[in-house]
Structure 1
Amino acid sequence: MAGGITLSKDGRHRLAGVLRALLIAQLTISLVMVIYCYNTSYKVMSLLKNIHKFKVFLIYALILLQAYCMKLHYTSGFRLVTWLLRNQDWCRTTPVSRVWLLSGTLLAANGLLVHAACKTTLKALMKELSSTLRFGMSQYLTEPKWKRFIDTMQIELNCCGADRPNDWHEVPWMNIDFLNEDDDLVMKLSGIDGKVLLPASPYSCCSPHVLSACFHDPLQQRYREAGGGAARSLQRRGCVEAAEAPLVRVSIAVHALVGLVVLLQVAIVLLALLIRNTQQQPEQVESSESAQRRGQRTRSFPYLS
């Protein structure tokens, strides 16, 4: 590749400095990816791990594994560059450098697989989350763990329902045993199985940004604000959308950062090959100069020969 290129010792050291800078950039990108993904998704993941623990840990494990492998690639790359500069005649420089370049290229390509795996896992997680939340909503008044989980999610993520706030009006989460059976509205909306579909939502659906009464339960409120006061006082997005938004940002960030790592790896391969293939040239120049000086000393001092 670079057999016809002559580089001085300083030139090779400058190329080695650029190569080290690219390795540092790769490591920095990997660390940024881990930190950004953790900070962006921590609130959502800490909630989802209570119901989808395996998928949450799988996503984090894939990202951490990729970053740790990049760290190993960076550490071994620094040592290899030092060997290329100091041990130009070392017989194992060429095979070791080839193995390192191949492993780094495979590692960069593996980042694309990590992104695809994370994207697929997130998609499956969001698909299951909708049905899981609907089941939990149906158990809201009978299972304390579901009530605690849903209330925590709706308050921390500023959301209501699974896909939309009206899900609470469609999921039979109220049982007639919790209501006044003498109320005409209750008897009108109650079903044969004792479940009641009412235009009511838990208090955790109330928006803290509305500085007025929250009309979330018409059975406990004697009046309702005219002009859609209930709609304005409740959160306007579902919890699936609220949970998906930061995870989509994480997926986009992983895709972009892995793409940068791949581009940097191409530059690293070219520079490493250039340094490796031109390392013998300065030695030949130095050997010829040494032979010339040795010849001059021999002519001046014959007894040294």
Structure 2
Amino acid sequence: MAWGVFTLSRDGRARLAGVLRALLIAQLVVSLCMVIFCYNTSLRVMLLLKHIHKVTVVLLYGLILCQAYGMKLHYTGGLRLIAVMLKCPHWKRATLVSSVWLLSGSLVAANGMLVYLACRGTLKALMKELSSSLRIGISQYLTEPTWKSLLDTMQVELSCCGAEKPTDWHEIPWINMDFLNEGSDLVMKLAGADGKVLPPVSPYSCCTPRVLAPCYHDPLQQSEWREVWSEASPLLSASLHTRGCVEAVRAPLTRALLALQFFNMLVCLFQVLIVVLTQLLRTSAREAVLRGDCGGTGRGVLLGSLAVQAPQKPSPCSSPEELAAGSSTSAGPAPRTCCASWAQRRRRRHPCIRTKTSYPYLS
């Protein structure tokens, strides 16, 4: 019982091999685009996060690079296999090697979806950890130079302010009494029992350059604009970045994750086409060999097996002596084919292919 039977000539198999090569090259291009896009989209963010969550950053990049390199190795090997299947259709290991290659390619494509799921889960965990890490960094902004440098760099380069929102700087105690004038009535009014002060002050790195107005970020030091705070002017929020740094980090990583999903779905689609076309090419070349004419027509089948049809006339690539011998008696041996002559030139040990029982490894 066979399903999906197609009769292919030698030229038809050559054209089919050309389509397969184009699909393999497309796979290589997809793997390259996946690495380049994901790398360029998340590079700035990853360079900042490597000081906080280095292991997570290495894991995300490592998964994507390993997947792309596995695709490269698999599909470059496929280009060589297609050439061998065209030139040596009687190769006794063609069925085994092509089956192993198709299985490994399917595993590579399936692994791409697993890599996407792993990256998505890692990104969710990273966002939760990043929020708590940034809040700790805000509380240590004036006591740990490393946190101050990292937060300032992140807020300037990613155009963000605070962890989840700009008002995090007003809710998390990060200014000690030691940095302020303890004799000030305002300072003493805002001071807590732990010696921390919660004024509506943000670092200068929260200021946005998109507003053509002074940056109102510190009412304690910008006393000349104190009336702006007393009037609750809209310039207060407009002069600062409006999104939190967690969202600024999530946005490019989400784009990279969506691109990873798209490229892996494309890989899976290409892999289905490669499996179908490779099966047709292999079975068509195999039947042509079993019929005694490597350059003749052969039926390719997607599922199942076909009964081998005996050749109706001598192979066109037989020698004149063999044609004469074949015409003199019908009970004589079948003429040698191009496949056998090619094998003799290569190894001097392959017999001429006559029937299916002569080559049980092709059954």
Equivalent residue letter for 1:183: S
Question: 1:260 is matched with which residue?
Answer: 266
Provide the C-alpha distance between the structure 2 equivalents of 1:70 and 1:229, rounded to a whole number of angstroms: 53
Partner of 1:138: 139
What's the CA shift string for 1:93-144, capped at 9, x where partnerless? 1001100000000110000000000011111111100000000010000111
1:149 aligns with 150
Aligned residues of 1:9 and 1:282 also touching (Cα < 8 A): no
Normalised to the residue count of structure 2, the TM-score between the two structures is 0.80
- CA apart distance, 1:182: 1.2
Match of 2:200 in 1: 199
Matched residues in 2 for 1:269 and 1:40: separation?
32
**Deviation, structure 1 residue 282:** 3.8
* 2-structure distance, mates of 1:246, 1:229: 28
Summarize the alignment of residues 89-108 of structure 1 with structure 2, pairs less than 5 Å apart.
89-108=90-109
Q: Deviations over 1:129-165 (max 9, x none)?
A: 0000000010000111110000000000000000000
Partner of 1:75: 76
1:277 corresponds in structure 2 to: 283
Distance 1:81 1:296 in 2: 32
1:233 corresponds in structure 2 to 239
Helix, strand or coil: the match of 2:8? coil
Q: In structure 2, what is the Cα distance between the partners aligned to 1:162 and 1:299? A: 87
Tell me the CA shift for residue 295 of structure 1.
5.8
Shift of 1:221: 1.1
CA contact (8 A) 1:7 1:281 kept: no
Measure how far apart 1:297 and its partner are. 3.1
- Candidates 251, 262, 266, aligned match of 2:257: 251
Q: Is the Cα–Cα contact under 8 Å of residues 2 and 274 in structure 1 kept in the other structure?
A: no
Q: Is the alpha carbon distance of 1:301 and 1:204 closer, same or farther for their aligned partners in structure 2, counting shifts above 3 Å? A: same
CA distance in structure 2 between the aligned counterparts of 1:128 and 1:289, rounded to whole angstroms? 72
Give the aligned partner of residue 178 of structure 1. 179
Distance 1:210 1:92, change over 3 A: same
TM-aligned CA distance change 1:300 to 1:113, over 3 Å:
closer
Residue 19 of structure 1: CA displacement?
A: 0.5
CA RMSD across the alignment: 2.0
* Number of aligned positions between the proteins: 302
In the alignment, structure 1 residue 189 sits paired with structure 2 residue 195:
no
Is 1:117 the counterpart of 2:144? The answer is no
Shift of 1:294: 4.7
Q: Deviations over 1:221-263 (max 9, x none)?
A: 1124352221110100000001100000011110011000001
| Matched-pair identity in % | 59
Give the Cα–Cα distance (whole angstroms) in 1 for the partners of residues 322 and 155 of structure 2: 88
**Mapping of residues 219-230 of structure 1, within 5 Å:** 219-222=220-223, 223-224=225-226, 225=228, 226=231, 227-230=233-236
- Cα separation, partners in 2 of 1:3 and 1:292, compared to 1, 3 Å: farther
Task: Report the TM-score, using the length of structure 1 for normalisation.
Answer: 0.94
Letter in 1 for 2:324: R
* SS in structure 2 at match of 1:289: coil
User: Matched residues in 1 for 2:81 and 2:284: separation?
Assistant: 15
Name stretches of at least 5 consecutive residues in structure 1 with no aligned partner.
none
Task: State the alpha-carbon separation in 2 of the partners of residues 301 and 262 from structure 1.
Answer: 56
Q: What amino acid does structure 2 have at the position aligned with 1:185?
A: L
